[in-house]
A and B are shown apart, each in its own frame.
Chain A
Amino acid sequence: MSKKMSTENNSGSKQATTGRMAEGVTVNEDEVAFFARIADQWWDENGPFRPLHLLNPTRLAYIRAAINAHTGTSETSLKPFEGIRILDIGCGGGLLSEPLCRLGASVTGVDASERNIEVAKIHATRMGLTIDYRNTTAEALAEAGEQFDVVVNMEVVEHVADVPAYLAACRALVKPGGLMLMSTLNRTARSFIFAIVGAEYVLRWLPIGAHDWNKFLTPRELADALKTAGFTPEAPTGFVFNPLTGNWKLSDRDVAVNYAMGAVAA
């Protein structure tokens, strides 16, 4: 783990940013220790982010299959995404960025929370992974003119205030012909019940109050919004939770609670 952190400005850098902070922030050793502790929490499979760890293999199976299908890359290779530039929006502690990096992609992870970005950097360094983590937003990146082959946008849109504006920014981030992968929660009676009583799997995963069920998008609404933003949406895939086993699986049919949707930039 790197002990010394510089205050170098990293905006616009495309390379590894291990040990570097977002603009103008000075870090002392106490803070490093503080972030390291949160990193341990983020990555503790039985810790506060357990529900996310349980979902992660299923999300990744979906992401891998979707990128394989879109790019015609190998389904069995352990490094299928070499040469593919991927943006992970709302990367948190790096639960998706790290696997995508292992699969060979050149990954940029962005998160609006400075704390998350610090945590993600510390963990990537520990694991020997080179990931371009930035404390910024999709809108700011789009403004800077950055573009990616694939944009991964998992469990973000339900937190966004202005969906059309957000999707327009996302469209600007995807190269023409590139792919965006989104996942979110449907607005159904079942998702309502899950959001209210599904403590272990929804409420603890997202801080209480972060979700406003009324703002959830149905697959039809999301597809329409994507079209307006200049994407060609694909059919949705459900992420289905089995409360008895604690396992998730992919489903073509059951999209009533969590679902994902791919969209190709026109």
Chain B
Amino acid sequence: MPHDQTTDIAILGGGLAGLAAGIGLAAHGLDVTVIDRGEPGDQTLESFDGRSSAIAYASCNLLKAIGVWEHLEGRHQPIREIRVSDGPSLMHLHFDHRDLGAGPLGEMVENRHMRLALHARAKELPNLRHLAPASVTEIERDAVAARLTLADGNTITAWLLLGIDGRASQARRDAGITVTEWGYDQVGIVCSIEHELPHGGVAHERFLPSGPFAILPLTGNRSSLVWTEKQHLADTVMGLSPRAFEAEVQRRCGDFLGKVKVIGGRWCYPLTLQFADRYTDTRLALVGDAAHGIHPIAGQGLNMGLRDVAALIEVIVEAARAGLDIGSGAVLDRYARWREFDNVTLMGVTDVLNRLFSNDIAPVRIARDLGLAVVDRIPPLKNFFMAHARGTVGTLPKLLSGDRL
């Protein structure tokens, strides 16, 4: 017997950003239903997602404020320093958290640990329902509400629908919101390594001719690698024998970590940049990768999603506390105005960085070497980049500043 369930907010997509949004809204008293097509058990297996994410300092504030961080006890590695270097050149950029006051620049967390923490926190909130696996066959939105029909025939009526269903967002497509997209002819190859020597909480970003190569510290003597490679070499690299692959990794890491050993699998993700031409529509807001996918060079994809989440929670909770209709145009406009500008700026910066660093033409090399050296010597510029890394640029939502709503 199909039944109609009502909720304040329906969220399509229970990935990292979707669950964080659901938790944050439910923690502030709203009734939330999260729908994800994946099997929750599978999504926390190591084979599902081998990535780790650099969680900017500001994003950590959000996760603390909504009660997720405490479920990550012992599973996060602070990033104390970021060293950016340009291939074999000696010029480098060095960001140290001591330059910017207290606290680490960010924290490294394995995606599957993040998912486990989000699931655990979600279970603590009686006003959050997590329907998974479940899928939506029809979306209707009008002046009053959004209504979803699920594959099992049940319906969900909400004041607002949040599309947090990733790059290929069904909510976005259904609303006819187009995306602007371009590929980089690059892939991101991701794996974890174990190494002889401690990393000391230092993250390294090297600009190799094929694209950026990042070594990000995990708990213990482990690091996460994001190896950007030209598209046409992807198959070759992914097809290497474990031994040959490990040798390539060692060569790229250099020897400052001693001998390295690849642990677990390797994953390959195509790198594209895309952004939705609008973030909102009647009773709909797009959040996270559904609104913008970014080149992972700056490690900011999830952080941008969490900034969306923090802004959205602030806007919605403020409206709900005033008794206003949380799905009204005024609420959605405020969210869109707040986030669109910020995201476009960051995507622009990231795109330029990648173009600048993903080639080996001599004049460009010299220019960027000088550039890095100059940035390193001029504190205001450096602070600007560091503030970006920490996620503290722009009008910060309260939850990112460590405040409560």
Contact = CB atoms under 8 A, between A and B. Distances in A.
Interface in A89-106: 98-103
Nearest to B328: A45
B322 A64 contact: yes
A100 B322 CA distance: 8
A60 B324 contact: yes
Contact of B329 (A46, A60, A64, A103): A46
Given A78-B29, A99-B324, A126-B144, A57 B329 contact: no
A64 B323 CA distance: 9
Nearest to B31: A78
A57 B322 CA distance: 7
Interface residues of A, number: 21
B125 interface: no
A238 B346 CA distance: 38
A214 interface: no
Given A45-B330, A46-B329, A78-B30, A60 B323 contact: yes
Contact of B319 (A57, A77, A98): A57
A117 B183 CA distance: 56
B320 interface: yes
Looking at chain A's contact residues, the main secondary structure is helix
A33 interface: no
B323 A77 contact: no
A99 B144 contact: no
Contacts of B3: none
A46 B328 CA distance: 11
Given A45-B329, A46-B329, A102 B144 contact: no
Interface string B206-239: 0000000000000000000000000000000000
A76 B404 CA distance: 11
A153 B346 CA distance: 46
A227 interface: no
20 contacts: A43-B143, A45-B328, A45-B330, A46-B329, A57-B319, A57-B322, A60-B324, A61-B322, A64-B321, A64-B322, A76-B28, A76-B29, A76-B321, A76-B405, A78-B29, A78-B30, A78-B320, A78-B321, A98-B325, A103-B323
Listed from nearest, the 4 A-B pairs whose CB atoms lie closest are: A99-B323, A60-B322, A102-B323, A103-B323
Interface of A: 40, 43, 45-46, 53, 56-57, 60-61, 64, 76-78, 98-103, 126-127
